[in-house]
Structure 1
Amino acid sequence: MLSLSIADQYHLNIQVEIPPELSGLQLQVYFFFPAKLAENSDVMDKTNFYHNILQKQQLVKVVPISCETIDKDLMIIKQTAYATAKTNQTRYKWALSEFIAGMLEVLNSTNGDQLAYIADRIEDFARIHDDEGKLTQAKIYKLALHLLLYYYHQALLQAKHQAEKADKIWFTQQIVKVAALAERHNLRLTHDTDTGRENLLNRLHIAKRVINRPYQLTRKKLKNGEVVEQLIFGFAAALAMAFATGVAFSTQRAFGNFSTPFFISLVLSYIFKDRIKELGRNYLMEKYFSRYSQHHYRFYQSERNKLIFEAKETMYRQSPEELPEKVNQLRKLFSRADSRSFRDALVYKRRYVSHINSDENPQFKFKDKLTINLSKRLRFLPQSIRQHWSESDVNVKSIKVHTVYPINLVVAIKTDGESIYQRYKLTTSRKGIHRLEKLD
């Protein structure tokens, strides 16, 4: 249901998968930054956080991929290849997408025995259409064939590189067959120049997106959070103006219009007016968005333009007194080991609501992948490197060790029936993310 992983040096992945039987789910991530990071105002800034987060949503088939499901999809492709009815054309696209996804998944976790099975399926797929000119989805079919041949060719080359000398004959024969099949369909599997290889991989990436379109979701952002934000700004400005006007009226009544006290009161009231507006705006936004959402998204199935899910997200700052009891209990576990942890938490909350009808017998689960960019935050850290001496094989050498700072995370998953809390530790430095640990 939930998984955290390191995407690269500066990016953290948070992935949520919601099965079709759940009507909703709430994700809350509590970030406890080290003091050296959190004391900088930009690190705890909510707008900065939103600017450094990427999101991707898609549908994932619940039924596990197997040889039986791949053969079934191949049969549907053969039956609907020349279909003119829109319903059958949609079935063709779905079957083609599932077939390619299944074949690529098998290729990613393949062994020598499965390569022979994949070779047979690719030959069946290449011969399944007697007349490609009459195909109703000829372009998608050619993209799919290109994808299959390329990734199978890559798998063969990798397997040949790792195989024993006696086993390389079979791989060589298969590589020659794949190359001949690609040449017959005017498809390239490799290129001699960097530009050619880059263009080839970009073409295949686009092909994968086109084929997986039935699984993809279109995201639409609503503007309700922006309207509320402007109303809060206006209300804070009205309070500040009411204070300044009240002080001016009171001084004017007591000392007159053209007096020194009236002049001083005007200057001071306008100074405090700006401060009251800023503090009032921050306070009201923290309180409002800790209860209500700041952004509202709706996710539609690309093929049918049907509403599948919606999500509401918000970001706010909480002191230890405001944190839930369970989070405070977990916080005490890492605060003993790390006295440099910042006192307040930056809380990211995302609530999902399903619009899938249970009567439809849904076969897909909803997957939401959030990628958080920590590059700007970690670059605020000072580059502190220490020398460490060690002896290995009678050789004494000096090793440079970066000073690391832990970012503690508490993740809460809430459904209709239960609440699950998990604790993670992200070890970081100016160099980037070193490791991610899930703690008991």
Structure 2
Amino acid sequence: MIQNSVKIHDNFSLEIKSIYENTSKRKKTKYDTITYLFIPNGLNINNQTYTKTKFYNDVKVYIRYNASEYTLEEIINLKTGPLNLFIKSVKKIVKEKSTKKNILDFEAKVKLLGAILNNSLKLQTHYFKFQKLADLQLSNQDFFNQLKEILHIYRTQIPIIENSSLDENIKNIIKLGDEYLSNISNYYTIQLLEHFKKISTEKSDLKIIIQFIKEEQEYRKTQNFDTSKDDDYYDETLLHKRSQLKKYIDGVLFLTRDVRKDGAFVEQSVFAIAAGLAMVFSTGIAFYYQQVYGNFTLPFFIALVVGYMFKDRIKASIGLLFISKASSFFYDYKIKIKDLQNNLIGITKENFVFVPFEKLGPKVKKHRIKDGYLDADYDFYGEQIIQYKRKIEIYPKKFGQEISDNRLNSLVDITRISFNRFITQMDDPKKSYSILKKGKIINRVGNKIYHINVIQKFYSEQGIEFKRYRIIMNRKGIKRVENIALDVI
């Protein structure tokens, strides 16, 4: 099963997030996705101006584990939960020698606890926001007591590490984990407070949230989490520090991508065969004319030159023919997905090509035509279509071996596509126009926008699924993303 979402990442980038779950009883689970980008012809994006190299420069892909789901109660009580695994790693690194293996294990457990707690708080906050106030009874929730207990248990381990003879770098790991846990606790509880204030929750029901936030902010002051030695009027240092800390903790879930060209062996073999055939042709001509005219004659010399010319062209023509047909058999790149211990977690393949509207499947055509603003929208001579195809194969039995988390069951694929090159041919974002109202001409200024339509086609063991989005943008960037409901075909 694939969970998919599309959102704005920044002014000029679109983020496509896909979660690939382990749904197969076999050793591997397979998915295929095709993303179609329908681009207005006026933007001058085509196979001459927008090459494969440029596209892959504009696409950035991250693959990581999807953080396991735990309730706060499970984090506290489960013996195999992230909190208890962290406590065991503390005991191990203090009692035993601080070997490289023990240090990496300790660091992984600190990061894993932070990543899982972040996911748990995100899910719990989402749950609170979508509950009816009458059913919520916020003041009676165990949420804050459980969160306090997790923070307390973690913080009781800090003196154990600090008072040991361990290296300062190791001691710093547990402090970084503490700061991250404080950051996310502060972030989600402030979100909850803002939400309940918007829906006019009684002040008495908000006391428990306010009290928690105050206590955590006091703790942050004692630990100097938010202080900066330099003048940081715009909070540059603070925000950069938090961003780096988040990347450090989330790094435990990220996987490496070993990118190789797909079909490289076959390609080189075809080129070698082409060179051999060309050589056979050239040598054959040389032998024939040598026998007819003999050595060191003008006809033999001309035959050698002509043979060499044809040899060169034969080799190049066979190579070009292979390249033109290769996209039907091979992808552009083959990527091996590996964890930090070099275990193979999965394989993905990627392919980029421009396709004509006539070669699209009937369902894709129908979904594209749906909700056109004008009949002219159906004239697809005014659009260029990019097809970005991906093949995904994952090996779930190897999930989480390096971090000892047996609940990992899915991968998150985050693909960011930059539209920066698309804006160069766009008109000014503001356009003036005139209307006649009550006999007077009124001049107005309107927004000049462009539509980039996105259709995604997903293949999984459960069947085929389609999704469509409309990207509204102008020269200043992406304004919004609209989710287009599709008819069941």
Measured against the shorter chain, the TM-score band is: 0.7 to 0.9
Q: Which moved more, 1:108-117 or 1:212-221?
A: 108-117
Q: Which moved more, 1:324-333 or 1:12-21?
A: 324-333
What is the match of residue 177 of structure 2? 144
Residue number among 66, 73, 76 corresponding to 2:84 in the alignment: 76
SS of 2:225 mapped into structure 1: coil
What is the match of residue 347 of structure 1? 387
- Deviation string 1:306-361 (CA, Å, 9 cap, x unpaired) is 21111011112333443334334444545863426546632111101112229997
SS of 1:383 mapped into structure 2: coil
Q: Are residues 117 and 285 of structure 1, via their aligned partners in 2, closer, same or farther at CA, if it must alter by over 3 Å?
A: farther
What is the match of residue 37 of structure 1? 43
Give, in angstroms, the shift of residue 127 of structure 1: 4.0
- Deviation string 1:284-319 (CA, Å, 9 cap, x unpaired) is 4342123311111111122x3321111011112333
For the residues of structure 2 that align with 1:241 and 1:434, how far apart are their CA atoms? 58
Give, in angstroms, the shift of residue 157 of structure 1: 6.5
What is the match of residue 250 of structure 1? none
Give, in angstroms, the shift of residue 205 of structure 1: 2.4
For the residues of structure 2 that align with 1:180 and 1:39, how far apart are their CA atoms? 54
Residue number among 9, 15, 18 corresponding to 1:16 in the alignment: 18
What is the aligned-residue identity percentage? 20
Structure 1 residues 77-226: aligned runs within 5 Å: 79-84=87-92, 86=102, 89=106, 94-103=112-121, 106=124, 116-117=144-145, 120-121=148-149, 123-125=151-153, 127-129=155-157, 130-133=159-162, 138-153=171-186, 159=193, 177-188=215-226, 193-194=231-232, 197-225=235-263
What is the match of residue 346 of structure 2? 309
Q: Are residues 292 and 123 of structure 1, via their aligned partners in 2, closer, same or farther at CA, if it must alter by over 3 Å?
A: closer
For the residues of structure 2 that align with 1:368 and 1:230, how far apart are their CA atoms? 31
For the residues of structure 1 that align with 2:446 and 2:216, how far apart are their CA atoms? 49
Give, in angstroms, the shift of residue 121 of structure 1: 3.5
What is the match of residue 444 of structure 2? 398
Q: Are residues 323 and 230 of structure 1, via their aligned partners in 2, closer, same or farther at CA, if it must alter by over 3 Å?
A: farther
Q: Are residues 201 and 227 of structure 1, via their aligned partners in 2, closer, same or farther at CA, if it must alter by over 3 Å?
A: farther
User: Match for 1:323: what amino acid?
Assistant: L
For the residues of structure 1 that align with 2:151 and 2:449, how far apart are their CA atoms? 56
User: Match for 1:15: what amino acid?
Assistant: K
Asked if 1:372 is matched to 2:380, the reply is: no
Say if 1:4 and 1:12, in contact at 8 Å, map to a contact too. yes
Say if 2:30 and 2:461, in contact at 8 Å, map to a contact too. yes
Q: Are residues 175 and 415 of structure 1, via their aligned partners in 2, closer, same or farther at CA, if it must alter by over 3 Å?
A: closer
Q: Are residues 108 and 181 of structure 1, via their aligned partners in 2, closer, same or farther at CA, if it must alter by over 3 Å?
A: farther
Say if 1:70 and 1:102, in contact at 8 Å, map to a contact too. no
For the residues of structure 2 that align with 1:384 and 1:94, how far apart are their CA atoms? 45
For the residues of structure 1 that align with 2:230 and 2:5, how far apart are their CA atoms? 39
Give, in angstroms, the shift of residue 278 of structure 1: 8.8
Give, in angstroms, the shift of residue 150 of structure 1: 3.4
| Unmatched runs of 5 consecutive residues or more in structure 1 | 248-252
For the residues of structure 1 that align with 2:460 and 2:46, how far apart are their CA atoms? 35
- Give me the TM-score of the superposition, normalised by structure 2: 0.68
Q: Are residues 389 and 149 of structure 1, via their aligned partners in 2, closer, same or farther at CA, if it must alter by over 3 Å?
A: farther
Say if 1:232 and 1:284, in contact at 8 Å, map to a contact too. yes
Asked if 1:60 is matched to 2:97, the reply is: no
What is the match of residue 438 of structure 1? 483
For the residues of structure 2 that align with 1:221 and 1:26, how far apart are their CA atoms? 18
For the residues of structure 1 that align with 2:455 and 2:482, how far apart are their CA atoms? 12
Q: Are residues 258 and 170 of structure 1, via their aligned partners in 2, closer, same or farther at CA, if it must alter by over 3 Å?
A: same
Q: Are residues 403 and 160 of structure 1, via their aligned partners in 2, closer, same or farther at CA, if it must alter by over 3 Å?
A: closer
Asked if 1:289 is matched to 2:327, the reply is: yes
SS of 2:393 mapped into structure 1: strand
For the residues of structure 2 that align with 1:279 and 1:385, how far apart are their CA atoms? 50
SS of 1:299 mapped into structure 2: strand
Give, in angstroms, the shift of residue 153 of structure 1: 4.4
Asked if 1:3 is matched to 2:5, the reply is: yes
Q: Are residues 318 and 166 of structure 1, via their aligned partners in 2, closer, same or farther at CA, if it must alter by over 3 Å?
A: closer
Q: Are residues 338 and 237 of structure 1, via their aligned partners in 2, closer, same or farther at CA, if it must alter by over 3 Å?
A: farther
SS of 1:435 mapped into structure 2: strand
RMSD: 4.9
SS of 2:359 mapped into structure 1: coil
User: Match for 1:308: what amino acid?
Assistant: I
For the residues of structure 1 that align with 2:209 and 2:126, how far apart are their CA atoms? 17
For the residues of structure 2 that align with 1:39 and 1:74, how far apart are their CA atoms? 49
Give, in angstroms, the shift of residue 373 of structure 1: 0.6
Q: Are residues 153 and 4 of structure 1, via their aligned partners in 2, closer, same or farther at CA, if it must alter by over 3 Å?
A: closer
Say if 2:448 and 2:474, in contact at 8 Å, map to a contact too. yes
What is the match of residue 55 of structure 2? 49
Matched positions, count? 429
| Unmatched runs of 5 consecutive residues or more in structure 2 | 94-101, 130-137, 286-291, 437-441
Q: Are residues 157 and 317 of structure 1, via their aligned partners in 2, closer, same or farther at CA, if it must alter by over 3 Å?
A: closer
SS of 2:479 mapped into structure 1: strand
Q: Are residues 176 and 435 of structure 1, via their aligned partners in 2, closer, same or farther at CA, if it must alter by over 3 Å?
A: closer
SS of 1:61 mapped into structure 2: coil
Give, in angstroms, the shift of residue 402 of structure 1: 0.6
Give, in angstroms, the shift of residue 184 of structure 1: 3.5
SS of 1:215 mapped into structure 2: coil
For the residues of structure 1 that align with 2:429 and 2:315, how far apart are their CA atoms? 40
User: Match for 1:296: what amino acid?
Assistant: K
Say if 1:237 and 1:277, in contact at 8 Å, map to a contact too. yes
Say if 1:80 and 1:92, in contact at 8 Å, map to a contact too. no
